[in-house]
Amino acid sequence: MSVRKILVTNALPYANGSIHLGHILGYIQADIWVRAMRSMGHDVTYVCADDAHGTAIMLRAEKDGIRPEMHIAAMQKEHEADFAAFNIAFDHYDSTHSDTNKNRVQEIYIKNREAGHIDVRPVTQLFDPKKNLFLSDRFIKGTCPKCKTEDQYGDSCEACGTTYNATELLDPRSTLSDATPIHKSSDHYFFKLPHFEQYLQQWTRDAGRLPVSIANKLDEWFEAGLADWDISRDAPYFGFEIPDAPNKFFYVWVDAPVGYMSSFENYIQSKRPDLSFNDYWKKDSTAEVYHFIGKDIVYFHALFWPAMLEGAGYRTPTTLSVNGFLTVNGQKMSKSRGTFINASTYTANLNPEQLRYYFASKLSNKVEDSDLNLEDFSQKVNSDLVGKVVNIASRCAKFINSSFNDTLSAQCAEPELVTQFIDAGQSIIQAYEAREFSTAIRQIMALADQANQYIDEKKPWALAKIEGNEQQVHDVCSVGLNLFRQLAVYLAPVLPQLANDVQAFFNLEDFNFASRTQILVNHPICKFTPLMQRVDKKAIEQMIEQSKDSLTTAQEPAAPEKTKTKKAAVKDATPAQDVISIDDFSKINLRVGRVLAAQTVDGSDKLLQLTVDLGEAEPRQIFSGIRERYAPEALVQKLVVVVANLAPRKMRFGISNGMVLCAGQGKNLSIISPDEHAQPGDVVS
């Protein structure tokens, strides 16, 4: 077997919040694959970093009265502790706020600029003269230019539903300083993404590059036409300054993916001088680069990132492995229900390895959402890991320890059975390599059932009661422990701590996939100690309660005050029977969508047929009664808010899979649009 050189990265967590279980899903997926590929004998390097720039981090640090550098350092320490608790073992964990990353970002930018892929043109925005800051829509409030309702945000009116530009607001004010913003023009820097359209169309269709569903989804973007990408932000901004452009900074999504390169570069400099950066990142590199990301950031990784690399003369990723979102108990993670669970809250109550196993049992190489059903989690872990796998060792080891001097039998009484387990490893290894973890788990558990069946048939506990059966007991229990060792080797990428404990129990130097081929005879073992406890349902309940407490009090921002006029209007207009609870409201899943295509519907004067990208594997078809207000061509590429978990509705024109939120009626109806920087799939809260 030839040894492959592989670099693996995970999406960079943003340094402005804690790691939760929705994040952990993707990191566990990558870590399992890294461990499996290493167990096959390949040379794998695994790096990551905190995404440490942007306005949000700058404002958060300012609010806390500290420098941004102090804030991101504290967040990085917290993130690294959370990953370590889940046995996610990066070779190196860095920050995008490093000199290495700055130098690499500037180099990539300059190469693209020299190749003609950068454009500069003015953009007019509202500017806060007190904060000395250009304001995005979410930081502006004023009076609606149509209905004159006060206290409205800079993109749309909650009262009448009118959408507008922030510059149209009457009496605008900055929510950051309460100052009156002024109109100000500023030069912005754009990356000419359309220059790479033909290249990207081929790149996204290269065999093995992307999941087919993602490649199909990206075709919608090509059909709509790629647009220039604004890569600059004005000072003040926490980030890297653009070369030869004073007070202009790179947008956070420019330097974030370059963090994959710089983290690897810093790893080489600090720990692995035997590795070469160019061997992995040069244009004709034979090494492999894998990015494990969530489906919500595919757009950046499958379009902007490879285009930036191609424009700068670097190689592009071998494969993007894309995971879906995580739900808990079949619904979006909820703070009010206590199912928006931080990584640290989980590890304070439950065994991280058990969640690794549960996620692995659901993960495949397809772009599918995963559900953490806490009842199913408890039953599956207790049945599979405790009741099947660990139980084999506990049933057999006590006889070897107590009656046979801690030594396995000098012969294998069932060589065909043990060999069958060894041979089954090839299919399991192939499933791991293909990132079909759920398939690997099913095959391993089938072997566990077979091992337990063997022990149940031989009944060593019954044999031990009959004088003269000592050798038979010794042989049966030795076979059982050999089968258990095979299972532990196969589960090692998923359960690294359990694997370490089993390796120590068996006194083995190697525990990789190749080690399984050795049948253990006349082999000393250690005293057996319990390897895993059952999931305690009380611990799950405690975790949920702790999540409710910490997340509703510490992390949920206070609701903004409404004007007296608006409070009165809501009170008078809402009859008691229409009141819903916060739990009912939390069931509504609102997500950002982008309209990819729009057309009229034959036979209807009110409906438009929309194709909407929600950051999922496939765009959705939604029928919306907005034809009287909007021409189809005016909606293409428009950001909208969609009720994403509405049951599909069968209409005579077809299936409508969602609802686009609007306000008003008839010709006064307006689509509710999110912030311009939102991306398809973003949760609207």
Task: Tell me which of 495, 517, 539 is where a domain ends.
Answer: 517
Strands of the sheet containing 229-230, edge to edge, are: 133-134, 118-128, 182-191, 229-230
Residue 653 maps to a domain: yes
Mean pLDDT across 147-154 = 88
Q: Tokens 């109806």 — which residue?
A: 669
User: CA-based diameter of the chain, in Å?
Assistant: 97
For residues 636 and 594, state if they share a domain.
Answer: yes
For residues 105 and 235, state if they share a domain.
Answer: yes
Q: Which residues are annotated as a binding site for ATP?
A: 335
Q: Which residues are annotated as a binding site for Zn(2+)?
A: 144, 147, 157, 160
- What is the token pair recorded at 7? 């670099």
- CA distances for 418 relative to 238, 422, 519, 685, angstroms: 59, 6, 8, 55
Residue 646 has pLDDT above 90, yes or no: no
Structural domain boundaries, residue 142: 121-191
Residue 249 has pLDDT above 50, yes or no: yes
Residue 535 maps to a domain: no
For residues 55 and 85, state if they share a domain.
Answer: yes
CA dist., res. 619 & res. 613, Å (int): 5
Mean pLDDT across 329-338 = 85
Q: Residue 166 belongs to a domain with what CATH number?
A: 2.170.220.10
What's the pLDDT score for residue 676?
64
Q: Residue 607 belongs to a domain with what CATH number?
A: 2.40.50.140
Strands of the sheet containing 92-95, edge to edge, are: 92-95, 43-50, 5-10, 288-294, 319-323
Q: Which of 147-161, 324-338, 476-490, 643-657 is most confident?
A: 476-490
For residues 69 and 138, state if they share a domain.
Answer: no
For residues 125 and 202, state if they share a domain.
Answer: no
Give the closest residue to 45 by CA, choosing from 8, 73, 71.
8
Residue 565 has pLDDT above 70, yes or no: no
Q: Which residue has the higher pLDDT, 264 or 559?
A: 264
Task: Tell me which of 491, 517, 543 is where a domain ends.
Answer: 517
Mean pLDDT across 526-537 = 95
CA dihedral for 331, 336, 342, 348, sign (positive or negative):
negative
What's the pLDDT score for residue 591?
87
What's the pLDDT score for residue 551?
40
Residue 570 has pLDDT above 60, yes or no: no
Q: Residue 482 belongs to a domain with what CATH number?
A: 1.10.730.10
What's the pLDDT score for residue 89?
97
Task: Tell me which of 191, 206, 234 is where a domain ends.
Answer: 191
Residue 629 has pLDDT above 90, yes or no: no
Query: pTM of the entire structure?
Result: 0.78
Give the closest residue to 498 by CA, choosing from 482, 485, 514.
485
For residues 126 and 261, state if they share a domain.
Answer: no
Under 8 Å between Cβ of 196 and 307:
yes
Give the closest residue to 237 by CA, choosing from 98, 95, 13, 52.
52
Residue 576 has pLDDT above 80, yes or no: no
Residue 532 maps to a domain: no
Residue 612 has pLDDT above 60, yes or no: yes
Residue 377 maps to a domain: no
Residue 342's contacts (CB-CB under 8 Å, 6 or more residues apart) are 18, 19, 20, 21, 547, 550, 551
Q: List the single range of 14-23, 133-142, 250-259 with lowest mean pLDDT.
A: 133-142
pLDDT tier, 244 (very low <50, low <70, confident <90, very high otherwise): very high
pLDDT tier, 164 (very low <50, low <70, confident <90, very high otherwise): confident
Environment class of 574 (CB within 10 Å of its CB; exposed 0-12, middle 13-18, buried 19+) = exposed
Chain centroid to Cα 163, Å, comes to 32
Mean pLDDT across 555-565 = 31
For residues 181 and 202, state if they share a domain.
Answer: no
CA dist., res. 192 & res. 118, Å (int): 6
pLDDT tier, 598 (very low <50, low <70, confident <90, very high otherwise): confident
Residue 512 has pLDDT above 60, yes or no: yes
- What is the token pair recorded at 463? 């044999």
Q: List the single range of 203-207, 305-309, 608-612 with lowest mean pLDDT.
A: 608-612
Mean pLDDT across 376-384 = 97
For residues 94 and 35, state if they share a domain.
Answer: yes
What's the pLDDT score for residue 550?
45
Q: Which residue has the higher pLDDT, 501 or 56?
A: 501
What's the pLDDT score for residue 401?
97
Residue 555 has pLDDT above 60, yes or no: no
What's the pLDDT score for residue 231?
96
For residues 111 and 257, state if they share a domain.
Answer: yes
For residues 146 and 273, state if they share a domain.
Answer: no
H or E stretch covering 318:
none
Q: List the single range of 292-306, 486-500, 651-665 with lowest mean pLDDT.
A: 651-665
Q: List the single range of 219-228, 299-308, 449-458, 613-622 with lowest mean pLDDT.
A: 613-622
Residue 560 maps to a domain: no
For residues 80 and 229, state if they share a domain.
Answer: yes
Mean pLDDT across 527-551 = 88
- For 261-299, how does the pLDDT look when each residue is reduced to its tens digit (9 = 90+)? 999 999 999 999 999 999 999 999 999 999 999 998 998
What's the pLDDT score for residue 573?
31
- For 196-218, how does the pLDDT look when each residue is reduced to its tens digit (9 = 90+)? 999 999 999 999 999 999 999 89
Residue 578 has pLDDT above 70, yes or no: no
- For 182-193, how does the pLDDT look when each residue is reduced to its tens digit (9 = 90+)? 999 999 999 999
pLDDT tier, 138 (very low <50, low <70, confident <90, very high otherwise): confident
CA dist., res. 217 & res. 617, Å (int): 6
Q: Which residue has the higher pLDDT, 191 or 130?
A: 191
Residue 75 maps to a domain: yes
CA dist., res. 238 & res. 258, Å (int): 16
List the beta bridge partners of residue 154.
none
- What is the token pair recorded at 371? 């559900």
Give the closest residue to 439 by CA, choosing from 32, 43, 44.
32
- CA distances for 595 relative to 157, 618, 633, angstroms: 21, 13, 10
Q: List the single range of 102-111, 181-190, 475-484, 645-654 with lowest mean pLDDT.
A: 645-654
What's the pLDDT score for residue 666?
66
What's the pLDDT score for residue 560?
31
Chain centroid to Cα 578, Å, comes to 37
- CA distances for 31 relative to 326, 432, 456, angstroms: 17, 12, 35
Q: Tokens 């290493």 — which residue?
A: 38
Q: Which residues are annotated as a binding site?
A: 144, 147, 157, 160, 335
Residue 572 has pLDDT above 50, yes or no: no
For residues 420 and 508, state if they share a domain.
Answer: yes
Q: Residue 291 belongs to a domain with what CATH number?
A: 3.40.50.620
Residue 355 maps to a domain: no
CA dist., res. 351 & res. 530, Å (int): 14
Residue 164 maps to a domain: yes
- For 413-448, how does the pLDDT look when each residue is reduced to its tens digit (9 = 90+)? 999 999 999 999 999 999 999 999 999 999 999 999
List the beta bridge partners of residue 233.
249
pLDDT tier, 135 (very low <50, low <70, confident <90, very high otherwise): confident
- For 102-129, how does the pLDDT look when each residue is reduced to its tens digit (9 = 90+)? 999 999 999 999 999 999 999 888 898 9
Percent of the chain past pLDDT 70, that is, above it, reads: 93
**Number of independent structural domains in the chain:** 4
- CA distances for 41 relative to 34, 276, 503, 619, angstroms: 11, 20, 18, 40
